[in-house]
Amino acid sequence: MRKQNSKKGRPRKVIRQGKASLSFTGKAVTSHAGMALVSRALDYFNVGNDLKKFTTDLDADKHHKMNRLLEQLITLRMLGGDAVSDTALLNDPALGALFDWDTIAHPSTFGRRLGKMRWIHNLGLERIVTGLSDRVAKTGPRLVAIDSTVATVFGEQIEGAERGYNPHKPGRDSYHPILAVDVATRSVVDGYLRPGSCASGHGLDDFIRKLIAESKHPVDQTVFRLDKGLTAGAVLDTIEGFNAGYVAKVKLTANVVGMISKIKNWRAFGKGHFAANIYCQLDGWERPRRMAVIERNLPAEEQPAQLPLFEMMDGRYEVVVTNLHLNAENIWRLYNRGTVVEQVIDELKNDFAATGVRTNSFWANDALFLTGLIAYNLLNCIRRLTLPKSLKTARIKRIGLLLLHLPANVIRGSRQLWIKIRRDHPMRLIFYRAMATLQ
Q: What is the mean pLDDT for each group of 10 consecutive residues in the chain (439 residues)?
A: 55 78 79 91 94 91 90 90 82 88 88 90 95 94 93 78 81 89 95 90 93 93 93 93 95 89 88 90 90 78 51 72 94 94 88 74 90 94 93 88 89 81 90 91
Distance in angstroms (rounded) separating the CA atoms of residues 384 and 137: 10
Does residue 66 belong to any structural domain of this protein? no
* CB crowding 229-257: b at 16 or more within 10 Å, else e: ebbbbebbebbeebebbbbbbbebeeebe
Taking every pair of C-alpha atoms in the chain, what is the biggest distance, in angstroms?
Answer: 90
What is the spatial distance between Cα 71 and Cα 431, in angstroms, rounded to a whole number? 22
pLDDT at position 129: 96
pLDDT of residue 164: 82
Q: Is residue 246 included in any domain, yes or no? A: yes
- Which residues span the domain enclosing 256? 138-350
Model pLDDT, residue 41: 94
pLDDT for position 300:
46
According to the model, what pLDDT value does residue 299 have? Answer: 55
Tally Cβ neighbours within 10 Å of residue 354: 29
Q: How many CB atoms lie within 10 A of CB 372?
A: 29
- The CATH number assigned to the domain holding 145 equals 3.90.350.10
Looking at the domain assignment, is residue 296 inside a domain? yes
Total number of domains in the chain: 1
Model-level pTM?
A: 0.90
Q: CA–CA separation, 138 vs 142, rounded Å?
A: 8
Residue 90 lies in a domain: no
